[in-house]
Homo-oligomer: A and B are copies of this chain.
Amino acid sequence: MKATRIVRNILANYEGDTPGVKGNLCRMLMNGKLGGTGKMVILPVDQGFEHGPARSFAPNPAAYDPHYHYQLAIDAGLSAYAAPLGMLEAGADTFAGQIPTILKVNSANSLIPSAAPKDQALTGSVDDALRLGCSAIGFTIYPGSSLGLDMFEEIAEMRKEAASKGVATVIWSYPRGEALDKDGETAIDIGAYAAQIAALLGAHIIKIKLSSDHLSLKEAKAVYEEHGIDISTQAARVKNCMDASFNGRRIVVFSGGAKKGENSVYDDARAIRDGGGNGSIIGRNTFQRERGEALEMLGKIIDIYKGRA
């Protein structure tokens, strides 16, 4: 499949990487309805770990079935599908080769005692990713946690192994932990910082949340104000995060958070597009809706990224 010029330009930014890693990035960038545009929509389904099955799937019981998500990602023409080991394995044979997959290799859950430092368990490996034919591994870091440094070391090691085997690395960079209050977790200075850390750790694709216009760190607040950095709109904040991602040399996708109204989802996509982001990684807002409705919404999001909506 011939890569478009846009995609080839994106790949050219991954200078230190092997043809294997670039090939897998290319597969994701060329797959589905956004193939070739440099934009991506990824379906992540790790909420069963994070929030438990009922909170995740009861709103749309068909989604209890792992096949449901593979099929949704394929039918909606998405770029890739991301999930933990068990979810992927449960459809790996049926859907082999039909959609690029991302093995989420660490996971947290809602049963961790609240006093424990924020952390995740390693639940997959690069060998699993190869065996299952995944294009990438996905790994969550918690900048702000007292265990943050340990998580950085884990992913630095895994990324090295994955890259040498031609597997790309997606880092979920989620500020969380003792160093941050609730507002801080979504503050724009923190969000941009989270993106920068992921880039420095060698992430090929960075996944962050959309930010609020709050500024959390005193020293950062001073700099934002002194230099008049525009953070007044979501698009402006997306742009700030893209700057922090090596001036846009890394692919950045933004997560959508909990289920919300359609228009809000579309506004997010437009802000990501207008701020120069690469796309959405959108789970609950799709699979918690009835399938027809989800497909329609995803079609609309894809149209937004294509500049048609």
Q: Which residues of chain A have a CB within 8 Å of any CB of chain B?
A: 1-3, 11, 13-27, 29-31, 48-49, 51-55, 57-59, 61, 64-66, 74, 84-94, 96-99, 107-116, 119-125, 127-128, 130-134, 143-146, 148-150, 152-153, 156, 160, 164-166, 175, 177-180, 189-190, 192-193, 195-197, 199-203, 217, 219-220, 223-224, 227, 229, 240, 243-244, 246-247, 249-250
Q: Which residues of B contact A15 (CB under 8 A)?
A: 19, 89-94
Task: Give complex CA distance A21, B134 in Å.
Answer: 11
B200 touches A107 (CB 8 A): yes
B197 touches A49 (CB 8 A): yes
Task: Give complex CA distance A187, B35 in Å.
Answer: 45
Q: Indicate which residue in B58, B114, B134 contacts A179 across the interface (CB closer than 8 Å).
A: B114
B96 touches A11 (CB 8 A): yes
A52 touches B87 (CB 8 A): no
- How many copies the complex holds: the figure is 5
Q: Indicate which residue in B22, B110, B201 contacts A193 across the interface (CB closer than 8 Å).
A: B110
Can you list 7 contacts pairing A with B, beta carbon distance less than 8 Å? A22-B93, A54-B244, A57-B243, A58-B224, A111-B144, A113-B146, A130-B166
Q: Which residues of B contact A199 (CB under 8 A)?
A: 48, 86, 90
Task: Give complex CA distance A79, B267 in Å.
Answer: 41
Q: Which residues of B contact A166 (CB under 8 A)?
A: 130-133
A196 touches B90 (CB 8 A): no
A153 touches B123 (CB 8 A): yes
> In this complex, what residue of B is CB-closest to A110?
B217
Task: Give complex CA distance A71, B254 in Å.
Answer: 31
Evaluate whether A16 and B16 lie within 8 angstroms (CB atoms) in the complex, with A144-B111, A193-B52 already known. Answer: no
Q: Which residues of B contact A87 (CB under 8 A)?
A: 200, 246
